[in-house]
Structure formats: C-alpha cells, structure tokens
Amino acid sequence: MLDLIIIGAGPAGITAAVYAARRNMSILVVTKDIGGQAAISGDVENYTGYQFITGPELAIKFQAHMSKYNIEIKENEEIIKIEKEGDLIRVTSDKGSYQAKTIIVASGKRSKKLNVPGEKEFKNRGLTYCATCDGPLFAQKEVAVIGGGNSSLDAAIQLMNIAKKVYIVNINSVVEGDAIMQEKLHGNDKVIILNNSQVEAVLGDKMVNGLRIKREGKQETLAVQGIFVEIGLIPNSEFAKILDRNEFGEIKINFHNQTNISGFFAAGDVTDVPEKQIIIACGEGSKACLSVFKYLATHKI
C-alpha cells in the first residue's frame, strides 16, 4: 500500500516527489511525460539561482535530481480517472490501476488548439505547438506564430534568430506580453506583428505552405512554411471530475493544496493558483507534499 501517488512529472510533480522521497514515503509517480511545460519552454531568466537557463536544461536538472532517489515512475501513461474507495484512493490509467492513501494531482496544462481547417492534417508537418522543440527545423524559412501573450512572444524571440521572417498573428488589437519581451522584438525587421487577425485555415500540400487569416475584415494569405500555435493552455484535469474545478477546468485548492475531498491534494498549473510560473509550480509541489505528510501523520488509514 503506497503512501502517495503523484500524477504528473513537471516542476510541481517532480518537486513533490523529491520532498516525499526525503520524508521516506512510499510513492509512485504516474505521468505522460517528464518535464511538463518546462521541457518545452524557451529561455528562463527568472528562476532563482540561474541568471539564464533554457527550459529543457532546467527540466533535465529536475529529472536528474529526482533520479537520485529510489522513486518508481510509470511513464507514458494516460490517466483515465481517480476515485475514492473508502479511506483509500484508486488511480486508473490506460495501462494499469494503482492504490494509495493520498494523491497529489500535478498534471499541468496542454496547448490549446486553433480548431480550424488544416490544423489536424498538418500537425507535425509544418504546424507545431513547441518552438523550443521544432524551431531549428525552420531555419531561413518564413513562419507564423499564433497568439499575443508571453508564450507567443517567447516563441517569436527564439524564431527570429532562426527563421527568415516571423509573423505574429494576434487576434487582439495589441500584443499583451511582458514589456521586456516586447522590447526584444522591437526594431527587428524580421518580425511583423499582425494585430486584429483571425486564423481561418492552415494551407498546404504534403507540408504547410500557407496560412489564411482575416485581418481587419479582409482575407489574406501568408506564404509561410511553419506555424507555431501559442494561444494558451488547458488544464489536464478531465480525469479529475470528482474534484471541484473552476470555469477554466482548474482544480480548486486552499492554501494547504487541499481539494474538496479528504486525501486529495493538487499542485502547479492544473490548479487555480493565479500565476503559472515554473518557480511557483515548484513551491506548490513542495507545499502539497508537506501537507500530505501532515495528513498521513494525523489520519488513521
């Protein structure tokens, strides 16, 4: 019988696992991948202790830290449901079923889809959701980044050093990302910002060769070979229907990372914590684990 099951191995899940291992808990980490959003982030300049590090480099350090402990990890598993069975908790994935006294849901978020013609057909054939992963494939090509927030600006900053031209296609009237990120793009003649622009379709033959947009009421076609979708994230919480969630699908927690059900805790971007940052996710993971430890010490299960 396990003390704790952790769902997810992003910054929150990995931190929780390290804390649990140091407390000598019996734990299992069940995850789709390792690193979460950190593994596909670009430059990270606000993580304490590192003036500069890339997301993938930081994710590797997280994983290396976790690997120093005897932590059992079930990778490449999709969680189907979590449920309460008396005093215990059962987690069911597409590959197995596991039981524990407590659980921390740290399943993070995933990229939103455009839901336009051609998106599904050209995924990984010129259309991608990760500039960090796939940017180098588009050297000296014309590309479009969809979105107007920090994630789209981060992608554009990476791509302006790789691509021939970078269009930022923004549905809003102004770009809303951090000022320091906007400054990095300002004055770069490779970057063209198209505000008030709605994506209508992804075009191509075997690979992407264009993007149809409607800009200020007029239809245009951008002759691009790459499209990077950066329009926000959706919480991976569909399996957690028994937990209270807000209108965005984020799991509701209190200051102790407790949910509405005893023994169920949550941490990181999947929760309703206001800011979604790597360092905050790590802090929330540690808090959740400390709350679990206190729960196990004060409840007879």
Residue 159 identity (one-letter amino acid)? L
Residue 120 lies in a domain: no
- The verdict on 139 and 203 lying in the same domain is yes
The rounded distance, in Å, linking the Cα atoms of 50 and 184 is 20
Specify whether the backbone of 146 is left (phi greater than 0), alpha (psi in -120 to 50) or beta: beta
pLDDT at 278 over 90: yes
SS3 38: helix
Q: Report the CATH number that the domain containing residue 201 is assigned in CATH.
A: 3.50.50.60
8 A C-beta contact, residue 184 and residue 157: yes
- The verdict on 277 and 196 lying in the same domain is no
pLDDT for the residue 275: 86
Residue tagged active-site, from 33, 43, 130, 272: 130
User: Mean of the per-residue pLDDT values for the chain?
Assistant: 95
pLDDT for the residue 44: 85
8 A C-beta contact, residue 94 and residue 180: no
pLDDT at 43 over 80: no
The rounded distance, in Å, linking the Cα atoms of 259 and 250 is 11
8 A C-beta contact, residue 25 and residue 69: no
- The verdict on 258 and 288 lying in the same domain is yes
Name the domain boundary from 183, 200, 229: 229
pLDDT digits (tens, 9 = 90+) for 73-121: 999 999 999 999 999 999 999 999 999 999 999 999 999 999 999 999 9
- The verdict on 203 and 55 lying in the same domain is no
Is 178 known to be catalytic? no
pLDDT for the residue 120: 95
Residue tagged active-site, from 3, 33, 94, 133: 133
pLDDT for the residue 85: 94
pLDDT at 37 over 90: no
Please state, as a whole number, how many other Cβ atoms lie within 10 Å of the Cβ of residue 153: 26
Name the domain boundary from 229, 264, 284: 229
- The verdict on 203 and 267 lying in the same domain is no
- The verdict on 75 and 217 lying in the same domain is no
Is 43 known to be catalytic? no
pLDDT for the residue 194: 96
Which residues, in sequence order, are bridge partners of residue 9?
A: 34
The pLDDT confidence band at residue 258, using thresholds 50, 70 and 90, is very high
Residue tagged active-site, from 134, 154, 269, 289: 134
pLDDT at 133 over 90: no
- pTM of this prediction? 0.83
The pLDDT confidence band at residue 45, using thresholds 50, 70 and 90, is confident
The rounded distance, in Å, linking the Cα atoms of 212 and 224 is 10
> Nearest 5°: phi and psi at 242?
-75, -10
pLDDT for the residue 161: 92
pLDDT for the residue 30: 98
pLDDT at 268 over 90: yes
Residue 117 lies in a domain: no
- The verdict on 223 and 239 lying in the same domain is no
pLDDT digits (tens, 9 = 90+) for 168-208: 999 999 998 889 999 999 889 999 999 999 999 999 999 99
Residue 119 lies in a domain: no
pLDDT at 42 over 80: no
- The verdict on 6 and 100 lying in the same domain is yes
The pLDDT confidence band at residue 154, using thresholds 50, 70 and 90, is very high
pLDDT digits (tens, 9 = 90+) for 51-66: 889 888 999 999 999 9
pLDDT for the residue 84: 96
Calculated CA dihedral for residues 173, 177, 178, 183, nearest 10 degrees: -70
The pLDDT confidence band at residue 222, using thresholds 50, 70 and 90, is very high
pLDDT for the residue 293: 98
Is 130 known to be catalytic? yes
Residue 193 lies in a domain: yes
Name the domain boundary from 214, 229, 244: 229
Give the count of domains, the chain: 2
Residue 199 lies in domain:
127-229
